[in-house]
A and B are shown apart, each in its own frame.
Chain A
Amino acid sequence: AQSVTQPDIHITVSEGASLELRCNYSYGATPYLFWYVQSPGQGLQLLLKYFSGDTLVQGIKGFEAEFKRSQSSFNLRKPSVHWSDAAEYFCAVGAGGNLIFGKGTKLSVKP
């Protein structure tokens, strides 16, 4: 069965520090992978997606993610976090045209 695991429920980083959010997926075929961000009380904003090709994907707001098939991972990274990055981050895999979401990782940013 398809599934997405985000092992970290809550991460706190200092402003200016680097960030890595983990995502592991289980899917039989070639996965379509997404990262969304959700600020409190808001909708989901697409950060980036991977369908095929280059395994390092660039997104908006300075985020990038790397697809590693051997590790079934699609981790999200940012070299320098800003206070405005504090939000909930969801990894998702496309399955039969629909999205299967991970449980999310809440990011807090310390000044």
Chain B
Amino acid sequence: DTEVTQTPKHLVMGMTNKKSLKCEQHMGHRAMYWYKQKAKKPPELMFVYSYEKLSINESVPSRFSPECPNSSLLNLHLHALQPEDSALYLCASSQSGPGQKTETQYFGPGTRLLVL
């Protein structure tokens, strides 16, 4: 089973709202990733958690706040977003995370976010 689930599928929020995206995997993977994908573009890495610790933050604005409560769950808390943050947010997981060896990343279906 190589399934990564994400909720919600769609989210519309105002610029003053606070919302959260959720990602879950039950493959025993110890690394989880957040990507942002704009239309007609490849995914851009935002954050990486490895063994429940934040290992990579790709200079993402503080209005995005990741959280990894346990090895199966990854959240992305959103606050005071801008319209340009509207995008598809993808979660992925891999066996153990960034290091010398690249591992296969398995992606979820994404959350389509619209900021008004």
Contacts and interface: CB of A to CB of B under 8 A. Distances in A.
Interface SS of chain B: loop
Interface string A62-101: 0000000000000000000000000000100011111101
A104 B102 CA distance: 20
B97 A41 contact: no
A96 B112 CA distance: 29
Given A42-B110, A43-B109, A95-B102, A103 B45 contact: no
Contact of B90 (A34, A43, A49, A104): A43
Interface in A39-65: 41-46, 49
B103 A97 contact: yes
B41 A103 contact: yes
A97 B30 CA distance: 13
| Contact size range, A | 20 to 34
B35 to A, nearest CB: 9
Interface in B36-79: 40-43, 45, 48, 56
Given A41-B88, A45-B107, A49-B104, A97 B43 contact: no
B104 A34 contact: yes
B110 A99 contact: no
Interface in B86-100: 88, 90, 92, 97-100
Interface of A: 32, 34, 36, 41-46, 49, 90, 94-99, 101-104
5 contacts: A41-B112, A43-B90, A43-B110, A44-B107, A46-B2
